[in-house]
Amino acid sequence: MTKTIIAQLFTKIETDGEVAAFIDKANEYSYYQLGNDIVEVAQKINQKEVKKGPIIVYGVNDYRALSVFLGANLSGHAYVPIDAHSPLERVKLIVEACEPAAIIITIPEIDLALKALFENYSTLSLHDFDFKKKHDLTTVDISQAISGTQINYIIYTSGTTGVPKGVAVSHDNLLTFTDWMINDFVPINNNQILSQAPFSFDLSIFSLYPSLLSGGTLVALSREETLNFKVMFERLNRSVINTWISTPSFIDICLLDPSFTQENHSAMQQFIFCGEELTINTAQKLRQKFPAAVIWNTYGPTEATGAVTYTKITDEILKNYDRLPIGQAKSGVEIKIQDPETKAFLPQGGRGEIVITGNSVALGYYKNPEKTAEAFFEVDGISAYHTGDAGLIDESGQLRYFGRLDFQVKFNGFRIELQDIEAHLTAIEGVEKSIVLPDYTSDNKVRRLVAVVQGETNADERAFTKYLKQSLSERIMDYMMPSTFKYVDTFPLTQNGKIDRKAITDIILGK
Ligand code: AMP
């Protein structure tokens, strides 16, 4: 039997105790310290006699949150990361949907409204832990740790009705993903891996687990650093990074900096992308700036644990494709293409919905059997997931991606259901109807979100837009905020009485 994630991690803690597990702007945390802090967290959870079930970890993407995720795991609890930059309304929806066994707050302060919301749950804050205490790491009891098909984490994604859906990922889902990342990409000793994605976004697992289980070092960029380009480039330039993990949108920002080159980052060996389309333009620029590094395009939804397909972006691929392929399946996974109408699986070359089957498919949406039944199913007894992505497998066995079959988009790397924004927008007083349109660049990237509203603007559209933005900011994540608001007296309707998205797109965006 393969060892659990916690068992493997404690082996690393034993053999590589002095190695830095996590480096942020100001501090380095060794594997030894991480082991100590994990035990401290697990002990306090046990002392508090937290009932069975997931633990919400409310904080930011820092060392403390990571140590709490792992402490929760050691004590037999799944963790649910909630980013402290989330609006109160979203936190409320997640807490209600999840009904956590406990909430652990990993930032020093939270405001009164959150305190009131968390009051009804068993909570632990930073001052409940003694992170200076030394634990005996040779006798750690790992028998309660998460294993097998138990839920390892739940990540909440945008849901079409405005209520977030919690993707429940099992220990074995995460372990097979981690093994793949460690073994099938460029193997690097003492790997220094960029950790930049928020922990509430599943791109973060690309960095966290492969690094920790291979004795690597996480080089972490905080949100504050990434929001200030000068600070970010200064930090990047004094960091040694071997493996880069990000969305293509994030590398696009980095490519703007002239100092982001192979000469200044001679240790860089590979770039791994996921989460949205990697354009030829971005890949070409990167190849010019980093000729010695390998570029990987990987693909997968949160519901299939990070990613499930991968391909090396070679010069040949750049020459032969007009849209970059997303590769071949990792071991334990099979990709099928299904006809959306007849539900028949199509032979090679057939275009339809990408269906993922195998050991990466998550357990389903937590406490949401309805949504689970809509998207998760079985093929010959094997777990399967309807991605909602359009694709085909070409003659060289490469999976191709042609966008969505529904109203989900990727904007700056973030997954957004347009209907999620619409649900919150239409709930605002004075709004009768609304839709949100993605405006695409010629290489299929969303450049902005445009909200189209029918409502009581009282002829002052500017003031109404301000009011809408203010009301929306209390309900949706900042990355979901439309940048443009347009107003209509009535919406064009389709024959069956729904808003005609195509017609309104033509009118508003002139396409
Ligand atoms: P998330 O759950 O946030 O990882 O979002 C999953 C969705 O992102 C997929 O269903 C795709 O629509 C899109 N996506 C992920 N990776 C890629 C890729 N390499 N190329 C194109 N789209 C991608």
The pLDDT confidence band at residue 459, using thresholds 50, 70 and 90, is: confident
Residue 448 resides in a domain: yes
- For residues 125 and 499, which has the higher predicted lDDT (pLDDT)? 125
Query: Nearest-CA neighbor of 66 among 91, 99, 33, 43?
Result: 33
Separation of CA 275 and ligand 1 centre (Å):
4
Q: How far apart are CA 30 and CA 67, in angstroms?
A: 12
CATH number at residue 505: 3.30.300.30
Residue 449 resides in a domain: yes
Residue 121 resides in a domain: no
- Joined together, the tokens standing for residue 204 give 């973060």
Whether pLDDT at 138 is above 70: yes
Q: What is the pLDDT at residue 1? A: 55
Whether pLDDT at 380 is above 80: yes
Q: How far apart are CA 466 and CA 358, in angstroms?
A: 47
Q: What is the pLDDT at residue 263? A: 96
Q: What is the pLDDT at residue 146? A: 98
Instruction: Show the DSSP H helices in 202-352 as ranges.
Output: 204-213, 223-227, 229-237, 248-254, 280-289, 315-320
Give CA separation, 154 vs 30, 98, 128, 169, 365, in Å.
Answer: 27, 9, 24, 6, 9
Q: Give per-residue pLDDT as tens, 396-421.
A: 999 999 989 999 999 999 999 999 99
Residue 144 resides in a domain: no
166 lines ligand 1 (CB under 6 A): no
Residue 370 resides in a domain: no
Residue 353 resides in a domain: no
Whether pLDDT at 173 is above 90: yes
pTM of the entire predicted model:
0.92
Residue 471 resides in a domain: yes
Whether pLDDT at 345 is above 80: yes
Q: What domain range includes position 474?
A: 416-509
- Sign of the alpha-carbon dihedral angle for 420, 422, 425, 426: negative
275 lines ligand 1 (CB under 6 A): yes
Helix (H) or strand (E) holding 462: helix 461-473
Separation of CA 231 and ligand 1 centre (Å):
29
What are the backbone angles phi and psi of residue 201, rounded to the nearest 5°? -115, 135
What are the backbone angles phi and psi of residue 423, rounded to the nearest 5°? -60, -40
Contact 46, 72 (CB under 8 A): no
Q: Give per-residue pLDDT as tens, 262-307.
A: 999 999 999 999 999 999 999 999 999 999 999 999 999 999 999 9
Whether pLDDT at 496 is above 80: no
| Percentage of residues in the chain having pLDDT higher than 70 | 100
- Residue 387 corresponds to which amino acid? T
417 lines ligand 1 (CB under 6 A): no
Q: Give per-residue pLDDT as tens, 233-243.
A: 999 999 999 99
Whether pLDDT at 446 is above 60: yes
Number of domains present in the structure of the chain: 1
What are the backbone angles phi and psi of residue 156, rounded to the nearest 5°? -90, 125
Residue 456 resides in a domain: yes
Q: Give per-residue pLDDT as tens, 32-67.
A: 999 999 999 999 999 999 999 999 999 999 999 999
299 lines ligand 1 (CB under 6 A): yes
